[in-house]
Structure 1
Amino acid sequence: MYTNAAGATTSPVTLPRLLQARDEGRRITMLTCYDAGFARAIDAAGVDSVLVGDSLGMVVQGHGSTLPVTVADIEYHTACVARGLQRALLLSDMPFQSDATPAAAIDAATRFLRAGAAMVKIEGAGFKLDVIRHLVERETPVCAHLGLTPQSVLRLGGYRVQGRGDEAAARLLDDARAVEQAGASMLVLECVPAPLAERITASLSIPTIGIGAGPGCTGQVLVLHDMLGLRHGRQPRFVKDVLATGGSVTGAFEAFVREVGEGAFPGPEHGYA
């Protein structure tokens, strides 16, 4: 328990609370974060969960993709963010090839949990199902990630919407059911047609967190730098510059929580058909 800025006593967000939010129809909020200062502001605004994403490779380190990010990078930034949080649930991304085998995955995930994370996020299905099972059986909660998986950028040939067409949609739905069956407690859906994301959400009993996946997901996530208008180059269509709405960094976080909770974000202009 801790006391927030308004003087109210608030309990930390836990995985069972997020699962309860899904069952009650309450929308879940998530933002990426990489340091303690932003973590404090995000936490105070009431964001449910914070992801130390391998997006740090692009928005913090200046790389052209997430592939150069290492386990040590994620561990370091996880520890920084954890020091700034009192309430929000903290997730850490498993960077490229850190989950190539169950043994490698448990080693990396253990480092992240010891640094302060409560869950790890894994991209993909296929052989990753064995990795998910291995982690969950060893008391490590997993958030899966399907659709556009940035670590697969070389195979995909770029950052493209996934799940278009009957065959691709059926495969993505099968993968979503498979990661849940393997033990994942949440699922991020990135750049997926809104009708398909809504269908996947309805078919699962775990929360889905959308980014470019329309309003039918259980919750929404944005990259911190994107929602503050700090991205270099063209913004993806699913991004909203919430800083312009909120008027300040703190106001932007509060606006994000409010707009997701009310169903005002994302709008039709932020998704894909």
Structure 2
Amino acid sequence: MSVDTLFIGWDVGGWNCDSNANSRDALVVLDGKRNLLGQPWRGNLRTAINEAGSTREWLQTLLRYCQIECNDDLPPAVMAIDTPLGFSRPFLNLISGRGAAGDIGKSADNPYLFRYTEHFLFQHGLKPLSAVKDMIGSQATKGMHALARFAAEAVETGVWRNGAALTAFEAYPSACKSSLRVRELLQKYRTVSATTQPEVWDTAGFGSGIDHEDKRDALLCALVAWLFHAQPDALYWPDAGVPAGEGWIFVPEDALA
């Protein structure tokens, strides 16, 4: 494969999303010039996760699902994953019997429901979901399980790796909709100009096999993976206050109010 780095976007479905018409796993793979490789894929990755004996085997399966020819000499992959990849420290303390948090107020400030990174996004005009209250616990545990299997080394806040083979982190496609930088990158894949119709985000505005919202979100994740590698200053990185182990949602800086 004559590609220096693969950029993979994974929009995560539930563990048993095979017959879920609205939400399944979706994958999009880009090369270093943001060309779409193979075809966007949508289905359930549970079997691929269960059967892969190594990170290499898992990545090879993902590429095969996307109709991308590959061999044993895989290039490094950067993967942006659309699901919470951690729980808040107060929540973990609560369920492990290590004590309760203080008084509980409104939802957006609830330390059990949201992590530091989500509180930060609330303060900047975004509305991230909660792995605890918004019925995405299945997706969250699926993403965390895949990390534990294939990219278990936490090299810095919110970033996991398996050597040079795979770098993975959490993305948030909905935040990209207010990013002018991402809008510009998206023009490569659209059939409807975002300049003339900036409000169009449904799949009718896309070509390149992006025929479902899950695939669109996977494309947005793949673009964030590319930014992470090629233009890291375009993303907002975690500050020193993030509790260890909670993870971080990487979003474009120009998406923040």
Q: TM-score range by the shorter chain?
A: under 0.3
- TM-score, normalised via structure 1 length: 0.25
Structure (1 or 2) with the larger CA radius of gyration: 2
Q: Relative contact order (C-alpha < 8 Å, sep 6+): which is higher?
A: 2
Structure with more helix by fraction: 1
